[in-house]
Amino acid sequence: MFNVIDSFLLKYIRDGGPLMYPLVAASIIALGYTIERWWALHKAKINTAEFTGKLRTVLLKKDVKGAVRLCENYRGPIASILKAGLLKYGSPKEEIEQTIETAAIHEMARLERGLNVLASIANIAPILGFLGTVTGMIKSFDQIAKAGLNNPAAVAAGISEALITTASGLIIAAPTLMVYNFFTTKIGKFVREMGSSSNILLETFAEMEKKA
């Protein structure tokens, strides 16, 4: 069965002409980044409510070092930016906020890594497909100019190339765009959780100062 599928795919690529090779390369790159980003975002996910609850409990006991250790036991961007804020405890509020903001920018860059590649592939794949359409139609008209309509098989080959590349470009672009939008939504959720967690940390610091 796999041999049949391989033979069909190879024939499909050959019939699509030279522009099928960059399209195939684009699909492989998109698949690789999709798997890598899914795994990275999956690992970064934590129970934010549970984590911030534990952090508040430890901090209200004036155990800042214990709060830092708690952050180290969790993975992901939220724990990282809160740890950065905890390490600045005792500094002016503006300095703590600046440290958290800098850490958040760094974590955002890590979360968004590779998304520009997915966006580029989603945009470029249809263009390559349409370019294949143009080259295929040029080939068909060239055959018509040489042999007239007496050789429909030669004309059909160019039309087939045109349609295959168009379909391939759209087949690659559609799921890539869906994956890009999915990851963007997930990252937006991380951003909201980072903001709310940072506010909770600053509010807890204020409570600690009042008790002191």
Instruction: Encode pLDDT of 142-187 as tens digits.
Output: 776 666 666 666 666 667 777 888 889 999 999 999 999 999 999 9
Distance separating alpha carbons of residues 204 and 82, to the nearest angstrom: 12
Residue 147: predicted pLDDT:
63
pLDDT at 157: 65
> Which has the higher per-residue pLDDT, 149 or 140?
140
Please state the rounded mean pLDDT for residues 110-136.
91
Digit-coded pLDDT (tens) for 45-100: 989 999 999 999 999 888 889 999 999 998 889 999 999 999 998 888 899 999 99
Which of 14-28, 131-145, 169-183 is predicted with the least confidence, judged by mean pLDDT?
A: 131-145
Distance from C-alpha of 65 to C-alpha of 83, rounded to nearest angstrom = 10
Percentage with pLDDT > 90 across the chain:
56
pLDDT at 77: 93
The mean pLDDT of 125-151, rounded to a whole number, is 77
Residue 2: pLDDT above 50? no
Average pLDDT, the chain: 86
* Threshold 0.75, pTM exceeds: yes
- From residue 107, give the alpha-carbon distance in Å to each of 26, 36, 81, 104, 128: 27, 16, 8, 5, 34
Alpha-helical regions (H) of 90-151: 93-111, 115-147
pLDDT for 136 equals: 78
